[in-house]
Structure 1
């Protein structure tokens, strides 16, 4: 029996047909944003999206309820065509695996950043990622979340929310004073001494083993501490996970991560030199110093804290995706994730940049508050890095709150990454900049780790409505009686049906608070309600088709 996912149904395609096509010529599936897609198409004109969804996030990192991909004009009473044009789309593309190296090179050289795409083990996996972004397009405050259960009927719930109260100064302040840049620097030197740490090479495997042993040594003798390697079935390098089990609140989990792998250009082999001192030995070294300091002070958290050195970040966030999906599948209550990817190159005037796209706004504010509390001498900036730029995106895609503090502004990061010149010497043979991030990570771990149970995230009511519209026909649905919070609406189906949302009255095609009008029936809208509201949805048949409308809100 053939089965199709809702998004495949919208395209009129069967999974079996597309899966057979993917077997030829080492074809793989990736998802990527607009800028990365443009770079890919420079290398392969045939690389065309199988499916695209709007993220609800502008390329500047600001949340927008408006989108207008097909027809010009205003997207809302307050949004201009220019603003709408800046909305980022996420694209699912099948390509030859050999193109990944060229794509990574172009993203690095032309866009001045790492990452930029997510690898998907199958077509169905990629469709699930895009469908999550389509149905859970945006949370308020410039973030984008993707809870996998949002399209199901009933009530959706997510991980617990910490209070974000900062009250552990008596614990944190003495530990911060004990942290040493020289120790971070030595770990960077040790990790960058491997020929490379590529996910397929023997030295990449050796680096994983080395990290496991170093972390195990730090917690030797602690019955609440363990270190394991997370096996990835399709490549040799294993991720490393160190766990300090919480005492009375161990079911709630805090994750601090960095990636262990390194890369040099488009063809990293056994003999290719890729020291990856900044990218991302500096992040792993920062985690190591956090862990060392916690162990030296016999710190015992109430919540469980996990330190993760991910494999295969440089080739589509593969390691962190598998781990985040595993946590989601097992029902892990991950209350917060911090990613440290490149911490030792000060390329911008400010000290720490908090990246605001594909991260969590509430947690980002908490991170900002931590810096102001514990390192008030530091200056703080914000920036965006685009879709799939580092491992935090893997956790965001599973509905977890993630943040990424970074070493520099988007276009001012280390120019030597992904080359043989990404060395400790080329960051001045010192780790003073990394120490700032290690101290931030420790304050994050202890402030969250010392708390009791967080508050449950209020469950959204989810309603699913189905129907069919002829060309030019329309259907008004509602009112949906919602409390303050996010109201989200999304559609999938066949044909071309547009989506409009308005508070207080039925929308029209010229009067609305949000619209989504792409060239298919895959649409999404999200608005923020300041109080009790009646919300209406208009579906308009630009071309005849079927729809499945999913709305979620606080009842």
Structure 2
């Protein structure tokens, strides 16, 4: 997420690994990694590590509101559990393969000049209406059911890989014969098994300007059942319905649209971090990013909560206008802290990102990160997630423009 203005002082506290003694063979299987997280969480992290007999992690660097630790990969799940249970953040930290990369992340990139190409106008009502009118609760629910049917979607698990392949097949099945501007591809990650998956509709007149809609497809547990129906099969299901109706209604965007299911979010936004960096490093002009992470639990009286920290203020205003004018829903503001979802990866690279959440963060789904994160415990339907499908469809119609039949 976008860090607030960072203090100029950079304090080097320690370079000593905060790790229990392990044999060389076990260390090879459990690689050393670096994480950055909110400085407000440091004491809780230390206490959490002590509670399971681990050596207390030592801060390596502190810069403003962010702190860097050295950890082992096996410790990420414990860290993710703490961030959820105590701070309502998922993941609440960002993971890096190298120390230099982690240090560099403590100074996020400035907003990219290419964002000035975007004017936030609401002038494509016919396309937005065409997409929204074809959406159904049953179709959104079917995707939640598909993904939640896997024992776990953990990023290193076989079932986590299988879930991605099933989602890729589902998306591929939406593409009509002869539709050559639409495609599905996996984005592989060298450090773990689970790939990300990207559905692309190439823009008709502005193909080099890209609109991204995404959400994470993994779930948290490596050792027990983790259906992750709300976190985050629901977000994936919401924008999967946008893909379906886009193909059904022959949607032809002016700008290229990418729908992305990110791997390994729960262990430090790892998939989206690599994908956002790839777009930045390859000079891809991403003009806007919408993140959907948890869309089916109605914990607040309003329909959606706009996360205001570490996001883009101008695009947030645009999103509010879409929610009220196009989708006809109510909204409020909320905050969720450092690195609470994949939009942080894009914000850190200088791209404009927003996230509409299912409820205010304090009123979120208490079942997430447990075996009880089921469709039943989100009300048994996908009615709330359908609202976010409509919001995402309107966002795409108004930012990518284009026509639908």
Q: Report if aligned partners of 1:392, 1:403 keep a CA contact under 8 Å in 2.
A: yes
Q: Which residue does 1:183 correspond to in 2?
A: 139
Bigger Rg, structure 1 or 2: 1
Which runs of no fewer than 5 residues in structure 1 stay unpaired? Answer: 1-8, 55-88, 133-145, 149-155, 453-555
Cα contact 2:263–2:270 (8 A) shared by 1: yes
Structure 1 counterpart of 2:90, from 114, 118, 127: 114
In the alignment, which of 401, 410, 435 is matched to residue 386 of structure 2?
435
Summarize the alignment of residues 51-70 of structure 1 with structure 2, pairs less than 5 Å apart. 51-54=61-64
Match of 2:119 in 1: 163
Q: Distance in 1 between matches of 2:144 and 2:107?
A: 39
1:447 and 1:12 map into 2 onto residues whose CA distance is 46
The CA deviation at 1:158 is 4.2
1:396-455 Cα distance to aligned partner (Å, 9 max, x none): 000000000000111111111111111111112201100110000000001111179xxx
Q: Quick one: structure 1 residues 10 and 415, their matched pair in 2 at CA, closer, same or farther if it must change by over 3 Å?
A: closer
The CA distance in 1 between the partners of 2:210 and 2:316, in whole Å, is: 18
Is residue 200 of structure 1 aligned with residue 156 of structure 2?
A: yes
> SS at the partner of 1:126?
helix
Aligned pair partner of 1:411 in 348, 362, 375: 362
Q: What secondary structure does 1:219 align onto? A: coil
Q: Is the 8 A contact 1:185 1:429 kept in 2?
A: no
Q: Structure 2: how far apart are the matches of 1:451 and 1:225?
A: 14
Separation in structure 1 between the aligned mates of residue 274 and residue 303 of structure 2, nearest angstrom = 32
What's 1:491 paired with? none
Contact 2:252 2:402 in 1 (8 A): no
| Contact preservation (8 Å) 1:36, 1:117 | no
Q: Could you tell me which of 208, 229, 232 is aligned with 1:251?
A: 208
**Aligned equivalents of 1:414, 1:218: Cα separation in 2:** 31
Out of 282, 293, 314, which is 1:330 matched to? 282
The structure with the largest helix share of the pair is 2
Give the superposition deviation at 1:338.
Answer: 0.2
Contact 1:158–1:399 at 8 Å: present in 2 too? no
Closer, same or farther: CA 158–173 of 1 in aligned 2, 3 Å = closer
Structure 2 length-normalised TM:
0.89
* Structure 1 CA distance for aligned equivalents of residues 106 and 83 of structure 2: 21
User: How well do the aligned residues superpose, as a CA RMSD in angstroms?
Assistant: 2.3
Alignment match of 2:130 (pick from 168, 174, 180): 174
Maintained 8 Å contact 1:36/1:116: no
Relative to structure 1, is the Cα distance of residues 130 and 429 closer, same or farther in structure 2, using a 3 angstrom cutoff?
Answer: same
How many Å separate the matches in 2 of 1:351 and 1:12?
A: 44
Contact 2:13 2:61 in 1 (8 A): no
Which residue of 288, 304, 317 corresponds with 2:256? 304
Partner of 2:47: 42
Cα 1:180–1:10 shift into 2, 3 Å: closer
Encode CA deviations 1:4-50: one digit per residue, 9 max, x unaligned: xxxxx9768999x99xxx99854321000023323211134732322
Question: CA–CA distance in 2 between the matches of 1:90 and 1:279?
Answer: 25
Would you say how many aligned residue pairs link Structure 1 and Structure 2? 380
- Between the aligned partners of 1:247 and 1:232, the Cα distance in structure 2 is 30
Structure 1 CA distance for aligned equivalents of residues 164 and 131 of structure 2: 27
TM-superposition CA deviations, 1:237-264 (whole Å, max 9, x none)? 1100010000110000000001110123
Aligned mates of 1:389, 1:289 — CA distance in 2: 24
The aligned residue for residue 76 of structure 2 is 100
Q: 2:6 maps to what in 1?
A: none
Larger relative contact order (CA 8 Å, sep ≥ 6): 2
Return the alpha-carbon distance in structure 2 between the equivalents of residues 358 and 165 of structure 1: 23
Instruction: Please state if 1:450 is matched with 2:401.
Output: yes
- For the 8 Å contact 2:208–2:284, the answer to whether it is kept is yes
Secondary structure (helix, strand or coil) at the match of 1:326 reads helix
Partner of 1:147: 110
Note the C-alpha offset of 1:393. 0.3
Measured after TM superposition, the shift of residue 282 of structure 1 is 0.4
Which whole-Å CA distance do the structure 2 matches of 1:419 and 1:44 have between them?
A: 20
For 2:341, the equivalent position in structure 1 comes to 390
